[in-house]
Amino acid sequence: MTSFEWINNDLLTGLLSEQHGTSFKRLLGYDVNFATKKGDNYASEMYRVSVRYDIGTVVEKSIILKVMPSGELQQQVMQENSIYAREMVIYNRIMPKIYQLLSSIGDCSIISPLCLSTANTPKQLLVFEDVNEQGFKMVDRRFGLDYDHARLVVVKLAKLHACSRIVHEADPTLFELTMEGCISEDPKKQTFLPYYRRCVGQVVRLVQQWNKEGRWDSILRKLEKLQDKIIPYGCAVYRRREDCFNVLNHNDIWVNNMMFRYGEGVGVKDVLLLDYQLSYYGSPGVDLNFFLYGSLQPKLYHTTLRWTLEELDYGGTIPTLPDIHVEIIRKGFHRVNAVFQQLPVAMMERSEDADMDLILGEGERSEACRRELFDNPRYVSILPALLQEFDLDGYLD
């Protein structure tokens, strides 16, 4: 049974005092619950805290506490990659500058939930507004997004990319923690990487099961070799070219990192992007392959990117639509990463049963866990066509 004892009166009083300053009088009461189901956030633990406090008038609202996960392997990955330090810089220093830029052209868009405060004790944590209170909610990750939902994501992503380019040119030191991707040759950042090879191993196992008549021999041989190549290929995705148009990539842009708001009779009308723990400064092709592949053509992304840069009087070269296509092709191997590593997690049926340390680990229990993950009938039903497409595109060679 999970203990909430560390979320106590002293912690909440300190966080609320940081937010409200001298206006804060006292905490009157609070209640703590999980904000998400187990398995929905593999890189953090989320708590919803309903607070009641006095700032001259009584305020009742919810806040979200986001803390490092408790799993040993997860914590090691987080520490190796400076996950929380990176996210704190993005929310506290980069996003405010992005909002200033958007506001200067009359754009009141909010890209992500507002970070109210941060703390390092008793745990590293970020405190967010609870956007459920504004009507935002998650969608079922198992079924992906339709056009109307994906369109909103593309527009926010393009604005994030455009503004981050300008912020970087003004102060590149802000982006120091985002200059290396999550697949790295750094010997101190290797804990997560065996998972990529293990995912390829699961795909090999599935193809072996289909290959009764030898129809999959060619692809199977390539996949078997890919187990040794996937890390170097992944490193190439995150190798930045300074002569290209680089931006702050969200770098984990999947369904569980989005919340949507709906209007009566008008369908979905807004989206917020969550979690910048893996954000990376480099080719926009990283985000575009991870999210847009199979969802949308990139024309809408380019239109919004170009319009935002033009409105902000950006002095550099604005990429053309063909330039964006080139970046998508140049970073195209990231599609394989998305399908092999992210898609099985997105499609799993019972996230409450998920144990990320078990999924990431080694040994028979971990292998059995991954087999169940990859044997999902919905995943198996779409994998053959994707493998054939990857083969034709040369990504398996």
- pLDDT tens profile 62-102: 999 998 776 677 777 777 778 888 999 999 999 999 999 99
Looking at residues 339-368, what average pLDDT do you find?
77
Please tell me the distance from the alpha carbon of residue 150 to that of residue 163, in angstroms, as a whole number.
Answer: 20
Task: Report whether pLDDT(321) > 50.
Answer: yes
Residues of the chain above pLDDT 70, percent: 94
What is the pTM assigned to this prediction? 0.89
Hunting for tokens 């008549």 — which residue is that? 213
Contacts 24+ apart (CB under 8 A), 218-221: 218/391, 219/387, 219/388, 219/391, 219/396
Residue pair 117/15 in contact (Cβ under 8 Å)? The answer is: yes
Task: Report whether pLDDT(330) > 80.
Answer: yes
Please tell me the distance from the alpha carbon of residue 147 to that of residue 378, in angstroms, as a whole number.
Answer: 20
Residue pair 48/35 in contact (Cβ under 8 Å)? The answer is: yes
pLDDT tens readout for residues 278-309: 999 999 999 999 887 545 567 889 999 999 99
Please tell me the distance from the alpha carbon of residue 394 to that of residue 207, in angstroms, as a whole number.
Answer: 18
Question: What is the SS3 assignment for 170?
Answer: helix
Q: At what angle do helices 364-374 and 193-210 cross, to 10 degrees?
A: 60
Residues whose CB is less than 8 angstroms from the CB of residue 21 and which lie 6 or more positions away in sequence, other chains included: none
229 or 40: whose pLDDT is higher? Answer: 229
Hunting for tokens 């609320």 — which residue is that? 16
Hunting for tokens 């092999």 — which residue is that? 340
Residue pair 287/249 in contact (Cβ under 8 Å)? The answer is: yes
Hunting for tokens 């319009």 — which residue is that? 307
DSSP letters of 80-134? HTTHHHHHHHIIIIIHHHHHHHHHHTT-----SPPEEEEE-SSS-EEEEE-GGGG
State residue 391's pLDDT score: 94
Model confidence at 386, pLDDT cuts 50, 70, 90, reads: very high
Please tell me the distance from the alpha carbon of residue 365 to that of residue 249, in angstroms, as a whole number.
Answer: 34
State residue 1's pLDDT score: 41
User: Could you tell me the residue ranges of all domains in the chain?
Assistant: 72-122+149-393
For the chain, the average pLDDT equals: 89
State residue 134's pLDDT score: 95
Pairing of strands 247-249, 280-282: antiparallel
Task: Report whether pLDDT(195) > 90.
Answer: no
